[in-house]
Amino acid sequence: MSGNIELLNTTLAAAKAADRAALVAYLPAGFPTVDGGIEAVKAVVAGGADVVEVGLPHSDPVLDGPVIQTADDIALRGGVRIADVMRTVREAYKATGVPILVMTYWNPIDRYGVERFTAELAEAGGAGCILPDLPVQESALWREHADKHGLATVFVVAPSSQDARLATITAAGSGFVYAASLMGVTGTRASVGAQAQDLVGRTRATTDLPVCVGLGVSNAAQAAEVAGFADGVIVGSAFVKAMLDAPDEAAGLAAVRSLAGELAEGVRKR
């Protein structure tokens, strides 16, 4: 069975044709529970998310700040496994029909087996993977199997990336490019900063792939700002924080749906 890279491509193209940025929501699998995580994905899509990244919880998430680390810890203590991540993708895709990617560090895939992981992700209806710590020069095996199974390979670029390095990274990627707005870890911030706009411009000079910006966006005003220069706005910590701060799961689901609605309005006001 082939994965859903084409669905991802057409979804991002449709947002561009509508003269707006796409809203990309991140939520960890298994948080607050596996079932609760699936419901959270449904909630953000109901609120207006175009694409969803499902995080594979990791004990040492080097790109993630304290909010997502807390959620990952809850998921891991709850016993989440890769099978639960695949179930989250499968049920979320079946329920929503939007592109679902997995964001994961490389070690779990390496231990699980690249062929097994890509085959199962494609069978679940996944659209691809975001791989923040996989060096491009060591990615040939992954890309071979991802291509075979119709999955996007999304690499992360940073403000520190030199132009030649950007060209190497974007030439190897597919689906979209994840542009980290600043040097640091995920989390909500008062300002996204001018570094992100510069990075998007330099990245676009090397590729026709959509460029989506993440790290720091937490409200509609910031989403509108980033949507003014990026093809997609990625929001994670703000959704996770809304779930963590809620008194119960039902309130958490209502909160993330409401936040998705506000952010969806923001990306349309670019």
Catalytic residues, which ones? 53, 64
Where does residue 226 fall: left (phi above 0), alpha (psi -120 to 50 degrees), or beta otherwise? alpha
Residues 6+ away with beta carbon under 8 Å from 213: 179, 181, 192, 196, 199, 200, 226, 230, 232, 233, 234
Which two three-digit tokens encode residue 176? Answer: 């979209």
Whole-Å CA distances, 208 to 31, 135, 270: 35, 21, 21
State which amino acid sits at residue 68: I
Which position has the token pair 């179930």?
87
Which position has the token pair 């990274």?
169
Whole-Å CA distances, 196 to 96, 204, 221: 30, 12, 15
Nearest alpha-carbon partner for 100 in 174, 211, 26: 26
Measured CA to CA, the distance from residue 25 to residue 94 in angstroms comes to 17
DSSP, residue by residue, 87-132: HHHHHHHHHH-S-EEEE--HHHHHHH-HHHHHHHHHHTT--EEE-T
Check if the beta carbon of residue 15 is closer than 8 Å to that of residue 42: no
Nearest alpha-carbon partner for 209 in 268, 264, 156: 156
Which position has the token pair 């979320």?
92
